[in-house]
Amino acid sequence: MPAEVRLRPMTAADLPAVAAIEAAGHPTPRATQAFADDLALDHARLWVAARGAEILGFIDYWVVAGEVELIDVAVAPAARRQGLGRRLVEHLRADVPEATAVHLEVRAGNAPAIALYRGLGFVEVGRRRRYYADGEDALLLSWSSASDGGPSAS
Ligand SMILES: CC(C)(COP(=O)(O)OP(=O)(O)OC[C@H]1O[C@@H](n2cnc3c(N)ncnc32)[C@H](O)[C@@H]1OP(=O)(O)O)[C@@H](O)C(=O)NCCC(=O)NCCS
């Protein structure tokens, strides 16, 4: 029977697998060092979804002044559409139940991610024109406890 997928804190040993998932998920992936830098930050929290030794996805978010900035979330291509992306974002909200808001930026053309976030109660609050190096716009999405009744509502 295949082992269960568990969420656990990311460690430096996970960085090669995390970087591979990042590279498969983004046209302009973050450098491995960016994850290493976040691991050293007090206000950053990084988790992986792992089945045994295999890393299937990750999430990286910052908790600042009662609000959360979702820096990055990605799932390995072969593990997508199985609920892992949703589980990782729901984990964020359960991990920081006191958060009054969660903010993120997403490429305007990233339909899978936008559908994931909308399904979890995020709404569009702005757009940054030509935000990414290749000229694509960023959408600013936010989830607010005031409009969603809290993390347990999802
Ligand atoms: C976005 C991403 C994390 C979603 O992960 P996932 O594990 O496939 O998502 P889930 O299986 O939890 O899907 C949750 C919901 O998201 C939406 N969704 C996910 N993938 C989708 C797709 N390809 N097309 C349309 N909707 C999609 C659906 O609403 C889905 O709910 P449903 O399965 O009940 O229809 C994944 O596609 C990914 O890693 N993409 C590359 C990295 C990325 O873009 N990250 C976001 C950075 S802002």
Give the 3-state DSSP-derived string for the chain, with helices as H, strands as E and coil as C.
Answer: CCCCEEEEECCHHHHHHHHHHHHHHCCCCCCHHHHHHHHCCCCEEEEEEEECCEEEEEEEEEEECCEEEEEEEEECHHHCCCCHHHHHHHHHHHHCCCCCEEEEEEECCCHHHHHHHHHCCCEEEEEECCCCCCCCCEEEEEEEHHHHCCHHHC
Checking if the pLDDT of 115 tops 70, the result is yes
Backbone φ, ψ for residue 129 (5° rounding):
-70, 135
Token pair in block for residue 21: 């998932």
In 10 A of CB 118, how many CB atoms?
12
Count how many domains the chain has.
Answer: 1
CATH code for position 53: 3.40.630.30
151 pLDDT band (50/70/90 cuts)?
Answer: very low
Quote the pLDDT of residue 153.
42
1 pLDDT band (50/70/90 cuts)?
Answer: low
Quote the pLDDT of residue 61.
98
pTM score: 0.95
What average pLDDT does range 124-131 have in this prediction? 97
Quote the pLDDT of residue 150.
47
**Ligand 1 proximal residues by C-beta, below 6 Å:** 25-26, 73-75, 80-86, 104, 106, 110-113, 115-116, 119
154 pLDDT band (50/70/90 cuts)?
Answer: very low
Checking if the pLDDT of 110 tops 70, the result is yes
Give per-residue pLDDT as tens, 51-70: 999 999 999 999 999 999 99
Q: State the burial class of residue 14 (Cβ atoms within 10 Å of its Cβ: 0-12, 13-18, 19+).
A: buried
Quote the pLDDT of residue 148.
76
Atom of ligand 1 nearest to the CA of 77: 39
Tell me the C-alpha distance between 144 and 126, whole Å: 15
Beta carbons of 69 and 103 less than 8 angstroms apart: yes
Instruction: Indicate which residue's Cα is closest to atom 21 of ligand 1.
Output: 112
Domain range enclosing 110? 5-153
Residue 54 designated active-site = no
